[in-house]
Structure 1
Amino acid sequence: MGKPVSKVREAKLELYRRQGKIHAREVEGRFNQLRWGMVWFTQIIFYGLCWLPWESNGAVRQAVLFDIAHEKLYFFDLVLWPQDALLLAFALITAATALFLTTALAGRLFCGFACPQTVYTMIFSWIEARVEGDHLARLKLDQRPMDAQKLGLRLLKHGIWAVLAGWTAITFVGYFTPIRELLPTVATLSTGPWEAFWLIFYAAFTYIQAGLAREAVCQHMCPYSRFQGVMFDPATRNVAYDHPRGEPRSLRRQAGTTGDCIDCGICVEVCPTGIDIRDGLQYQCINCGLCIDACDQVMDKIGAPRGLIRFASENELAGRVAAPGMLWRPRLAVYAGVLVVVAGLTAWTLDQRSLLRVDVLRDRGALARETADGQIENAYTLKLANIADRPRRFIVTVDGPLTLKIVGDSEFAVAAGSLTPVSITVSAPVGEQLPGIVPIRFAVAAADDPAVRVGERSSFALR
């Protein structure tokens, strides 16, 4: 008989949050500091910008305001109208292309550091940790039956969440209704129907997404996590585990016989989406870098070099040396090219944007009429749109192959941000021998600033 075959049972470390709600362990490190830096940066802007006053033409208004009722967008000195929708389209395309370029370079950096879902989940989780304790205390609290202490902690936590969600909703609506006008109506419960709807909706949305759904949004609801893979290639740098260096794992690291990974599981405990980065690249990973911070601390304690988990590309982990110019591989060149072109178009469109728009309509009912003094007259309607945020007077002139002149008034006042139709009569001598229809050109210029000038083509009927 041969020797009995010894069977070795492999024990797999079962982590404390294998199932159920994820309670991420807090960790310190450079990536955690960067994440909190982004939280402070974005939220100071969001919560503070709507309170910033701005003086324009002697009047004080909110610096940033989407005034839907009057169809204006105020952005400091810039006032945009519905006719400027092309600028919004360019801005959205620029932002999307920048996101694609960032993803191709370093994965889901936006998700891990600047996404509103990430930012508010961090804030809500921080509040939860201050009220209920660290990750282990929260886990034990979840498993306890309901008692007075647990009920009190839960009510306190959800109460703070509700207040924060409510203030976030007020701030959001404050960008559409001036916040200094909105607050008194909120206090007296006298908001308009649309304002009330958005206050309730946005507060509930923030509360559910950041307080209750959390990582489920990144795992199951975010469409970006599903199609991000098409923007990756072997040179994209993601949070990755150095498998050759870390394996085989052992709780007692022995140089030369085991890898650097001691299978402590802390990299999993700190992950806000609950994945094990050692299993390879996963769509749930948001590239937050917290597992890097955790692993670096463990490496420091065991005397091993940092970087067992780090930002690295597939080529780097496989030992392949990147070819010169690898950073400018085709997909990056395409994304960067589109970004430069669209950003350039945005800047050019903004620079060429006129504060005056003119539309000329000729009276089709009467092409031409002859007067007693030997003149032929044509009637026109000019629609003058004053895009500036102050009233202006505009001077109308006309020229062409005829001896043209304007009969009556040629200067018109137009209120700030309004469109005013004006009637213009143009005359020419009867004796000029030209074809029946001749091209002419109207020129409209601001009386206080001749640089604000628009030309518009039309035609003049001689018979």
Structure 2
Amino acid sequence: MGDKIPMKDVASNDDASNKAKNDPALMFTGEEAIKSRDKIQVRAITGQFTKFRKMGGWLLFCLFFGTSWLNWNGHQAVLWDIPNRQFNIFGITLWPQDLMLLSMLLVICAFGLFAITMFAGRIWCGYTCPQTVWTFIFMWIEKQVEGDRNARIKLDKQPFSPKKLGLRLTKHALWLLFAFATAITFVGYFTPIRDLVVDIFTFNSDTSTLSWLGFFTVMTYLNAGWLREQVCIYMCPYARFQAVMFDKDTLIVSYDEERGENRGPRKKTADPKELGLGDCVDCSMCVQVCPVGIDIRDGLQYECIACAKCIEACDSIMDKVGYERGLISYTSEHQLKGNEWKLFRPRFIGYIIALIVMFSALMYNLFTLIPVDLEVDRGRGANLFRENFKGDIENSYNIRVMNKSQHAETYVLSATGFEGLSVVGDTEITLESGEISQVPVSVIVPVTNLESRSEPIYFKVVAESDENIFAETESRFMGPRRR
């Protein structure tokens, strides 16, 4: 653990504690924050990282709200159909038997998160995490209704009035409306969204659907509107174990203490060296723009979501006072000490290789997934075989065929393994999507073609619409003992 960046708990810092108490814009972490949570009013800031963050947010936004409305071959493109125990994703249907593929997808996502964290810290949280994106949307709504940071702080301090009530009701109504749209979309991934929307607005939804809609509306409203940074700080487990994945070359949002200290205000024309000051003018802008309310100047803290708002705020101040940018920046511990940053480290390379291997395996399994399942059981009975009136040997089997495609299909059953083999029974099986059929059949083989008491036999079902869609399995054919 010696090569890990230490995480700093600023709750024990008396200076930070006193400063936070004197300035409501500042908020530190730890036990004191749990005892008394000050509402964080985030100052708006613009810059290059904000553009990237908006791009990531819009991408997630469009994927979430747009994908549920996509159709594929006449069906909803992505639908987790729990009643029918199937997951439809762009023409591929996964069943409980295919849960290994879903497990593989989760493992890939986990390794991807590990790799991203090792490369650039908690950058996933700052740019594309749903909690962050939805919180920023709720903050934007709040800003449009109540005004900028100063106006919101002033409004909080004002006594109750009709104007304040109107603004608050408008804000919360818009929050609930957006939360309800989120709930509809989320539930729409588990029940056909077009039918869901019609049922909602024609008041035909069942109690279960309404209960889930209400649950997700309330949870979205609470998480993004009220809890906000508390979810990231106290509820998200990622905040707790992220440091294990850090090394000294991990890119993190850092304050250059050697350059910035000592902090203090000064005139723009003053020489900071003569005053014994560093480049930090102690404006607290980096704290005012932080969505989790920390002071990045106190060092690396697990609450930091690497959103880079403090970088943009600090750079804007440096531009105003005529100092070089980069007092707060994305950097690594090695770079802060003047060493060269290394991108390709053994563990990072290992993550990338593992991701490539697992993703390739997942894609191969998905694109070679057979949309039909075949199982064969020997018929139940007292005899393993019987001899018919011609002297041929007959075995009974139960054929179980499942249509795993998204449309009706007819399958042709056949068997191979012996000369003169014939199948007696229904060899054409028509199934609806997801339907399972059990068909009893008999296989007859001339006794002269049997070489031993037990020999392999192969059953195969082929789709009439496409001969490349087939499934086959092996069973045993039993006969009399050979002398």
The TM-score with structure 1 as length reference comes to: 0.92
What 5-or-longer segments of structure 2 have no aligned partner? 1-14, 28-37
Q: Please point out which of 154, 176, 192 is paired with 1:162.
A: 176
Q: Please point out which of 29, 52, 68 is paired with 1:50.
A: 68
Alpha-carbon distance between aligned partners in 2 of 1:352 and 1:175, rounded to the nearest angstrom? 25
Percent identity over paired residues: 43
Match of 1:350 in 2: 366
Other structure's SS at 1:328 match: coil
Q: Is the 8 A contact 2:426 2:439 kept in 1?
A: no
Alpha-carbon distance between aligned partners in 2 of 1:337 and 1:48, rounded to the nearest angstrom? 32
Say whether 1:18 aligns with 2:26: yes
Alpha-carbon distance between aligned partners in 1 of 2:47 and 2:94, rounded to the nearest angstrom? 43
Match of 2:85 in 1: 71
Alpha-carbon distance between aligned partners in 2 of 1:433 and 1:224, rounded to the nearest angstrom? 64
Alpha-carbon distance between aligned partners in 1 of 2:45 and 2:264, rounded to the nearest angstrom? 23
CA displacement at 1:452 relative to structure 2? 1.5
CA displacement at 1:195 relative to structure 2? 0.9
CA displacement at 1:316 relative to structure 2? 0.5
Q: Is the 8 A contact 2:93 2:371 kept in 1?
A: no
Alpha-carbon distance between aligned partners in 2 of 1:360 and 1:261, rounded to the nearest angstrom? 76
Count matched residues: 448
The change in CA–CA distance for 1:408 and 1:184 in structure 2 (over 3 A counts) is closer
Read off the aligned partner of 1:100 and give its amino acid letter: F
CA displacement at 1:212 relative to structure 2? 0.4
Q: Is the 8 A contact 2:425 2:440 kept in 1?
A: no
Which stretch has the larger CA shift, 416-425 or 307-316? 416-425
Say whether 1:258 aligns with 2:274: no
Match of 2:49 in 1: 31
Deviations 1:225-261 (A, max 9, x none): 0111100011101011111111122212625443111
Match of 1:459 in 2: 476
Other structure's SS at 1:22 match: coil
Other structure's SS at 1:413 match: strand
Alpha-carbon distance between aligned partners in 2 of 1:300 and 1:433, rounded to the nearest angstrom? 91
CA displacement at 1:362 relative to structure 2? 0.5
Q: Is the 8 A contact 1:401 1:438 kept in 2?
A: no
CA displacement at 1:77 relative to structure 2? 2.5
Alpha-carbon distance between aligned partners in 2 of 1:404 and 1:52, rounded to the nearest angstrom? 48
Q: Please point out which of 186, 204, 210 is paired with 1:172.
A: 186
Read off the aligned partner of 1:40 and give its amino acid letter: W
Alpha-carbon distance between aligned partners in 1 of 2:19 and 2:468, rounded to the nearest angstrom? 76
CA displacement at 1:141 relative to structure 2? 1.7
Alpha-carbon distance between aligned partners in 2 of 1:310 and 1:189, rounded to the nearest angstrom? 53
Other structure's SS at 2:213 match: helix
Alpha-carbon distance between aligned partners in 2 of 1:444 and 1:188, rounded to the nearest angstrom? 45
Say whether 1:204 aligns with 2:222: no
Say whether 1:339 aligns with 2:387: no
Alpha-carbon distance between aligned partners in 2 of 1:77 and 1:450, rounded to the nearest angstrom? 18
Q: Is the 8 A contact 2:248 2:334 kept in 1?
A: yes
Read off the aligned partner of 2:180 and give its amino acid letter: G
Q: Is the 8 A contact 2:26 2:287 kept in 1?
A: no
Q: Is the 8 A contact 2:92 2:405 kept in 1?
A: no
The correspondence of residues 286-297 of structure 1 with structure 2, limited to 5 A, is: 286-297=305-316
Match of 1:283 in 2: 302
Deviations 1:70-98 (A, max 9, x none): 22323233233222222211111111111
CA displacement at 1:345 relative to structure 2? 1.3
CA displacement at 1:393 relative to structure 2? 2.2
Match of 1:3 in 2: none
Q: Is the 8 A contact 1:250 1:263 kept in 2?
A: yes
Say whether 1:330 aligns with 2:349: no
Which stretch has the larger CA shift, 112-121 or 385-394? 385-394
Other structure's SS at 2:364 match: helix
Alpha-carbon distance between aligned partners in 1 of 2:260 and 2:368, rounded to the nearest angstrom? 58
Read off the aligned partner of 2:187 and give its amino acid letter: V
Q: Is the 8 A contact 2:374 2:402 kept in 1?
A: yes
CA displacement at 1:190 relative to structure 2? 3.0
Read off the aligned partner of 2:417 and give its amino acid letter: G
Q: Is the 8 A contact 1:169 1:203 kept in 2?
A: yes
Q: Please point out which of 396, 403, 412 is paired with 1:379.
A: 396
Alpha-carbon distance between aligned partners in 1 of 2:96 and 2:175, rounded to the nearest angstrom? 37
Q: Please point out which of 387, 391, 397 is paired with 2:414.
A: 397
Other structure's SS at 1:73 match: strand
Alpha-carbon distance between aligned partners in 2 of 1:291 and 1:450, rounded to the nearest angstrom? 61
CA displacement at 1:146 relative to structure 2? 1.7
Q: Is the 8 A contact 1:215 1:273 kept in 2?
A: yes
Q: Is the 8 A contact 1:111 1:286 kept in 2?
A: yes
Alpha-carbon distance between aligned partners in 1 of 2:138 and 2:110, rounded to the nearest angstrom? 27
Deviations 1:49-86 (A, max 9, x none): 222334x2xxx332322222222323233233222222
Match of 1:437 in 2: 454
Alpha-carbon distance between aligned partners in 1 of 2:426 and 2:209, rounded to the nearest angstrom? 45
Read off the aligned partner of 2:287 and give its amino acid letter: V
CA displacement at 1:12 relative to structure 2? 6.1
CA displacement at 1:402 relative to structure 2? 5.4
Q: Is the 8 A contact 1:15 1:265 kept in 2?
A: no
Coordinate RMSD, CA, aligned: 2.0
Deviations 1:272-319 (A, max 9, x none): 000000111000000000001101111111111111110000111011
Q: Is the 8 A contact 2:395 2:477 kept in 1?
A: yes
Q: Please point out which of 131, 136, 158 is paired with 2:150.
A: 136
Alpha-carbon distance between aligned partners in 2 of 1:403 and 1:12, rounded to the nearest angstrom? 93
Deviations 1:17-59 (A, max 9, x none): 23510001111111112112222222122222222334x2xxx
Alpha-carbon distance between aligned partners in 2 of 1:17 and 1:299, rounded to the nearest angstrom? 21
